[in-house]
């Protein structure tokens, strides 16, 4: 006669526990890497948003001072004409506490804008160029001024989710008066 022995299982074996721990550890490491990449992409998007807000800020200031911004620009405008600029102007007046003429307001607006770029963007700089052209609307020739606002900043690639090199990013916007 055959006797069958019954084997009673009284819990997990050590190997099952180790396999479970390894699988759980790999899952948690993957989750941590995903979280880190998400933060890098979020930071890069935040910086891009700050650049966009700064561009819209200077475009609104140009629109508010549009007569000066349009009338002071002539074909192939040089720096200092209208809002054309490559750097913060010297001798920025205080237009918050004093009245300013349109030319002083331009200096004030650009000074505020360049300060904001350097405060909110890593290595943030900006450049504004303008060109005047004429378009024909029906039988009328209309003079327009087209401003191009370019903002540049740097991010280390690891802040964007790749490598460790520093790259310069730039975006451009156009405004037509």
57-77 pLDDT per residue, tens:
999 999 998 888 887 776 555
Most confident of the following: 120-124, 140-144, 155-159, 163-167: 120-124
Is residue 159 pLDDT above 60, yes or no? no
The pLDDT, as a whole number, for residue 131 is: 87
3-state secondary structure of 130: strand
> In terms of pLDDT, which residue wins out, 5 or 130?
130
CA distances from 158 to 4, 93, 124 (A): 64, 40, 18
Residues 60 and 52: their CA atoms lie apart, in Å, by 12
In the chain, the DSSP E strands lie at 125-137, 140-156, 166-176
The pLDDT, as a whole number, for residue 28 is: 93
The pLDDT, as a whole number, for residue 148 is: 92
3-state secondary structure of 85: strand
């Amino acid at each position: 006669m055959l006797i069958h022995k019954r084997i009673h299982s009284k819990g997990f074996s050590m190997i099952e526990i180790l396999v479970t721990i390894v699988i759980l550890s790999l899952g948690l490491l993957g989750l941590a890497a995903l979280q880190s990449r998400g933060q890098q992409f979020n930071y890069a998007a935040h910086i891009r948003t700050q650049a966009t807000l700064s561009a819209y800020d200077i475009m609104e200031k140009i629109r508010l001072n549009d007569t000066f911004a349009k009338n002071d620009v002539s074909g192939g405008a040089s720096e200092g004409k209208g809002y054309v600029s490559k750097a913060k102007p010297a001798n920025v007046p205080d237009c918050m506490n004093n009245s300013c003429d349109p030319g002083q307001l331009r200096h004030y607006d650009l000074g505020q804008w360049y300060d904001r770029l350097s405060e909110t963007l890593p290595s943030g700089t900006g450049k504004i160029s303008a060109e005047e052209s004429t378009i024909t609307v029906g039988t009328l020739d209309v003079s327009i001024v087209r401003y191009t606002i370019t903002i540049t900043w740097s991010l280390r690639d690891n802040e964007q989710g790749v490598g460790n090199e520093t790259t310069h990013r730039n975006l451009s916007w156009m405004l037509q008066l």
